[in-house]
Structure 1
Amino acid sequence: MAVLLGVHRLSKAFGSRPLFSGISFGVETGERIGLIGPNGAGKSTLLKILAGLTPPDEGTVSVSSGLTVGLVAQVPDFAEGATVRSTVLEAARSERDDHEWEAEARADEVLARLSLAGGGVSPEKPVALLSGGQRKRVALARELVRRPDLLLLDEPTNHLDVESIAWLEELVARAPFATVTVTHDRLFLQRVSTRVLELDRRNPGGLLSVSGDFAAWVAAKEQLLSAMESREAALANTLRRETEWLRRGPKARTTKQQARAQRAEALAEEVESLAASNRSRSVRLDFDAAGRSPKRLLVAEGIGKSHGGRRLFRGLDLTLAPGSRVGLIGPNGCGKSTLLRVLVGSEPPDEGTVALAEGTPVVFFEQGRESLDPEATVLGTVCPEGDHVVYRGRSLHARSYLDRFLFAQEQMEVKVGRLSGGEQSRLLLARLMLRPAGLLVLDEPTNDLDLATLDVLEESLAEFPGALLLVTHDRAFLDRATDVLLAFDPDGDGTLTRLSGLDQWESWRRETRDRRTPPPKAPAAAAVPSPPRSRRRLGYLEQRELDGIEPRIEAAEAELARLEASLEAPDVLSDGPRLLALSRAIEEARAEVDRLYARWAELSG
């Protein structure tokens, strides 16, 4: 494969804090690179450097001749007053070789492919009025219409619902261009990546490159850590022997003493460096459970809620006991956050009743982190008065408590508004953990958290003895942290379906999507006869097309039948990715049959 872009000895610092130093790697045609690393490692900064938007402090970025690079930022920017279509059309016009009609046709094609020309999203709708997920699609359309050779994606799954994430997975997997994606979505990395780059100053050279998917990176990382620990132990033993020799006194000292002393000094520096790399600091999360809990913490009977004349949910019966783990899953805007608020009593239901056991403390992590004051300091957020907090009945110094959440001493007086998204999430978790909980309600807690923190949060929730209500777009996290999923109907009729896990949800999703897909249209000749009208005279090419369209319809129907028969194969039914790809292929085959019938009707009408 041809090399599109090469990075050599790249370094960048943020103020006095180094982000990465001396990293080198290349990107080849067709690669699907997942870029991971801890919060603050400089992943977003690296993408901006690759896109030519930010200069490095040191090193070079070499690109192949004529390379077009696109960047979908974590928080995309749009021109004031821009509409969906004007944003994409402006990007299409930047291709100077195109005529205006070509730019418009290309813009309309991309809008249709990304479901931005229908489905409730008007092309003339201002971008400022769109949801976070819809704005991400517009930003993606803006880059796709430029026909990039390399597309850089910074946390593209944030603010997307699970349906949109599955759609994005398929788009990236089938793309004709190379991609570098910053994401903490483990399932996305597993299904899409052909190589994983881990940006972490503790890695040798600051960067770990592993060919393969996320599982391959996990295995390689374990081997690397084991090798580094073994080398640290071996060097430490050598250093101990050298140090003992140097301490023996004058008799052991020869003319070689100075050289051995220098060798011992170099060994000490290497051991110290390895020890620092092998020390892996992680957030310490441990939710404080309330005391004795009743057998039933929450009982909801027949609850329903509508908004703006649209039914969000109806007829829901739900009982939560200590140890219950319930996740909510559905498209953006379906009512997941509203249901959480109704269950905890923040909003009344339109119908039915909700009873929360008396004295049950509820801890709520809100989706937008609205309870955080952007003008408050990190220290003041967890400790508005004094300098101590009470955690699990013990008094702790607030600075020591915040150290559990990886906040450095120099960050204590930093305003919350200047923190990264991941740091804000950690700060909110730190404040919530000071409160005992019987019912834990988490609305999108995984946004912006790095992989290490996600793992620790998973472990903390597994050990929490109370009940959990969870909404998250991170499918792997949702599947591991919950026992039951309540799935919102994609048609928006307000029904909720109980499912046992992500695998069952994916099967249910395919079934509901197939039920919504209309059967192939019958030929126009089979429709109710209409009054006779004069038939348009066909041109030579149209007549040839009509003469050959019936064999094409037969071939398309045969292909559709073959694909549908493949669904019965046991090896397909047991293979989730193959089943998803086959379902997509069936949809496309049905659409082709419909298109051919419509064209046949048009030509023969």
Structure 2
Amino acid sequence: MPPILNAQGLSKSFGATALFRDIAFTVSDDDRIGLIGPNGAGKSTLLKVLAGEEDADSGDVAVRKRARIGYVRQESTFAPRKTVREILEAALVQGHVPEGEREGKLRETSGRIGLTDLNVEAATLSGGWRKRLAIAEAVVSAPDVLLLDEPTNHLDLAGIAWLEGLLQAGSFASVIITHDRYFLENVATEIVELNRVYADGLLRVQGSYSKFIEARQAYLESQTRLEESLRNRVRTEIEWLRRGPKARATKAKARIDNAHQLIGQLKEVSGRGQSTTATIGFEGTDRQTKRLVELKDVSIELGGKQIVEHLSFLFANGTRVGLVGPNGSGKTTILRLLTGELSASDGEVQKAGSLRIVYFSQMRELPEGVTLRRALAPDSDSVMYQGRVVHVASYAQKFLFSGDQLNQPVERLSGGERARVLIARLMLEPADLLLLDEPTNDLDITTLEVLEESLLEYKGALVLVTHDRYMLDRVSTTVLGLDGRGNAAVFADYPQWEQWFLSGQAGAKEESPERQAVAADREEAKPVASAKKKLSYLEAREFATIEVRVEEADARLDAARDRVNDPEVAVDAERLTTALGEMESAQSELDTLYARWAELTEKAG
């Protein structure tokens, strides 16, 4: 059977900027293709071309006869006053579902997405529920291929798990643009990266995301070897040219032509391999205080609703806390409590003196009516970065902005570019406590990896809210989990919380998926929570001495750092290797102690 979609020779440019050139892209039955690539590579544009919503500058897209294409845009919007029922009914009609089957199909679909009230106005739904409805609208029309542009944006953990199950069980092929690496690993059977570093404009690999990583590394290594080989050959040809061969000789002329071809080939290969990765690094204050913020039996009430109840938790220096929970469970509320924007309705919030808090808001608020230049440097053409004066153009270049963009209004920037501007602004502010609320939205995978490395190197305390499960798992040393009903518990890592949270979904009924996820395990969770209110004898003894042990571990880490920085050690490979191992071991021990300290503090209540 022919492919459902068969695109050949596609090229697309915006003005003088070429997104992709002469690429081929096919989608066959049962394909689940993860489409990735750096910001600006043209992923969303390619999806629009495949969906027939936009024309390519050149090339053709052939659609198999009678094949239906479902397309879910990055932003899910619905007309005012349209109800869930009306939207799904229109999709059933469009999908040519027999009239006698529509009501059953409609109720089955609404039940699967968790929207039991069919008469609710779609435009009034939250971002996560609008996204679910948009996906259901596309699926209910029985497409042969479903094209999804960033479908995990606005979805919480329960929503992402629902979407994974839907795609894994679906009888349709799918192409999914996403930067969620766990999602790719769980769902995709093929990965396509759209990127100008590849000779064909893209790299397509059968298998999971981890298989793709291996194949991409092999490809880039082969490109490096090719570039080195070409460089050596070009060097030889240039030396030959300098000796002044006679151009009239046929052999000499052919060799001159060959030399120019090699030089052009080297330029092309070198150009493809140029890095387009942002440089990210947060600056700590080297503060020695251990206890930065302590919440003691804190409750928060907003608009008559109890958001958080009886929360006790210590945010200690050096800890990296992953704050997780379903949409509306109070994650952003806790961050606003830490900044002082909100006050606790009950309990006590103790903060260290002169605490420097830097907050990245998910609202992506930038000054209106200003250029990129003034967004980064409001008062001059330079910024103070890590104790050095840096020209704004050089600083902007670290975040992949060209000099031409400095005078561009920030309102014209893409979502990923706005995120990079905000991160750039945050990097200019040394912090004791760094609060990041959904910093990963709109960032490509390469930038996410750089962000992760910078957070791992950051020496202050961190509170991270994100739906990127891979980042949470990698960065956080402890997880503070919320259940959406005011309860909170501490977990060693993200997968532990995920298992607890998702295990209750199956038995719950007549509630939203977020509520369902908690209800079935609620009785089981209560004893866990109550056990945390009182320390055992051994835990009490451990708690009494842990602060001293943290200080001792901190001193060992400082001593290890001094050895690594010792000039005599630095020139001795064997001693340097030993010192680096000691430093890594000391850092690991300190991270473990901080996580345990936070856990015991929460248990002590």
Common fold: TM-score over 0.5: yes
SS of 1:49's partner is helix
Query: Pick from 269, 276, 279: which aligns with 2:274?
Result: 279
1:531 alignment counterpart: none
- Whether 1:13 aligns to 2:5 is no
Give the superposition deviation at 1:291.
4.0
Q: Percent identity?
A: 45
SS of 2:33's partner is strand
1:425 alignment counterpart: 419
1:407 alignment counterpart: 401
Distance 1:467 1:431 in 2: 18
Query: Pick from 462, 485, 496: which aligns with 1:493?
Result: 485
1:257 alignment counterpart: 252
1:51 alignment counterpart: 51
Distance 2:494 2:265 in 1: 46
Whether contact under 8 Å (2:234, 2:259) holds in the other structure is yes
Distance 1:309 1:420 in 2: 37
Q: 1:241 to 1:322 in 2, by over 3 A?
A: same
Distance 1:343 1:386 in 2: 32
SS of 1:3's partner is coil
Q: 1:186 to 1:278 in 2, by over 3 A?
A: same
2:528 alignment counterpart: none
Give the superposition deviation at 1:212.
0.3
Give the superposition deviation at 1:383.
1.3
Whether contact under 8 Å (2:307, 2:330) holds in the other structure is yes
Distance 1:423 1:67 in 2: 36
Give the superposition deviation at 1:394.
1.2
SS of 1:65's partner is coil
Give the superposition deviation at 1:379.
1.3
Distance 1:21 1:494 in 2: 52
Query: Pick from 472, 492, 507: which aligns with 1:478?
Result: 472
Q: Which runs of structure 2 are paired with 1:155-194 in the superposition (5 Å)?
A: 155-194=150-189
Give the superposition deviation at 1:435.
0.8
Distance 2:437 2:245 in 1: 69
1:486-530: CA deviation from partner (whole Å, max 9, x where unpaired): 1112xx431111111122123212444467579xxxxxxxxxxxx
Distance 2:474 2:260 in 1: 47
1:395 alignment counterpart: 389
Query: Pick from 266, 278, 281: which aligns with 2:261?
Result: 266
- Whether 1:505 aligns to 2:497 is yes
Whether contact under 8 Å (1:70, 1:148) holds in the other structure is yes
Give the superposition deviation at 1:448.
0.6
1:85 alignment counterpart: 85
Distance 2:258 2:24 in 1: 29
Give the superposition deviation at 1:106.
2.7
SS of 2:23's partner is strand
Q: Which runs of structure 2 are paired with 1:147-546 in the superposition (5 Å)?
A: 147-249=142-244, 254-370=249-365, 372-489=366-483, 492-513=484-505
Deviates more, 1:321-330 or 1:146-155: 321-330
Structure-2-length-normalised TM-score:
0.82
Q: 1:513 to 1:78 in 2, by over 3 A?
A: closer
Q: 1:387 to 1:510 in 2, by over 3 A?
A: closer
Give the superposition deviation at 1:292.
2.9
Deviates more, 1:107-116 or 1:330-339: 107-116
Whether contact under 8 Å (1:345, 1:354) holds in the other structure is no
Distance 2:112 2:137 in 1: 12
Whether contact under 8 Å (2:481, 2:489) holds in the other structure is yes
1:574 alignment counterpart: none
Distance 1:50 1:194 in 2: 19
SS of 1:326's partner is strand
Whether contact under 8 Å (1:36, 1:184) holds in the other structure is yes
1:362-421: CA deviation from partner (whole Å, max 9, x where unpaired): 110001113x13432211111122211111121111111010000112211222221111
SS of 1:368's partner is coil
Distance 1:263 1:79 in 2: 61
Distance 1:4 1:56 in 2: 18
Whether contact under 8 Å (2:77, 2:123) holds in the other structure is no
SS of 1:327's partner is strand
1:72 alignment counterpart: 72
Query: Which 5+ residue runs of structure 1 have no aligned equivalent?
Result: 519-605
Distance 1:178 1:513 in 2: 27
Deviates more, 1:415-424 or 1:439-448: 415-424
1:112 alignment counterpart: 111
Give, as a single letter, the amino acid of the residue that structure 1 aligns with 2:146.
L
Give, as a single letter, the amino acid of the residue that structure 1 aligns with 2:11.
S
Give, as a single letter, the amino acid of the residue that structure 2 aligns with 1:189.
L
Whether contact under 8 Å (1:323, 1:467) holds in the other structure is yes
1:237-292: CA deviation from partner (whole Å, max 9, x where unpaired): 11111111111135899442211111111101111111112222211001121243
Whether contact under 8 Å (1:38, 1:450) holds in the other structure is yes
SS of 1:297's partner is strand
Distance 1:342 1:200 in 2: 42
SS of 1:110's partner is helix
Give the superposition deviation at 1:478.
0.8
Q: 1:222 to 1:95 in 2, by over 3 A?
A: closer
Q: 1:115 to 1:341 in 2, by over 3 A?
A: same
Give, as a single letter, the amino acid of the residue that structure 2 aligns with 1:128.
A
Distance 1:475 1:138 in 2: 23
Distance 1:429 1:461 in 2: 12
Whether contact under 8 Å (1:29, 1:178) holds in the other structure is yes
Give, as a single letter, the amino acid of the residue that structure 1 aligns with 2:404.
E
Distance 1:172 1:510 in 2: 18
Whether contact under 8 Å (2:152, 2:178) holds in the other structure is yes
Query: Which 5+ residue runs of structure 2 have no aligned equivalent?
Result: 511-605
Give the superposition deviation at 1:311.
2.2
Distance 2:505 2:137 in 1: 28
SS of 2:454's partner is helix
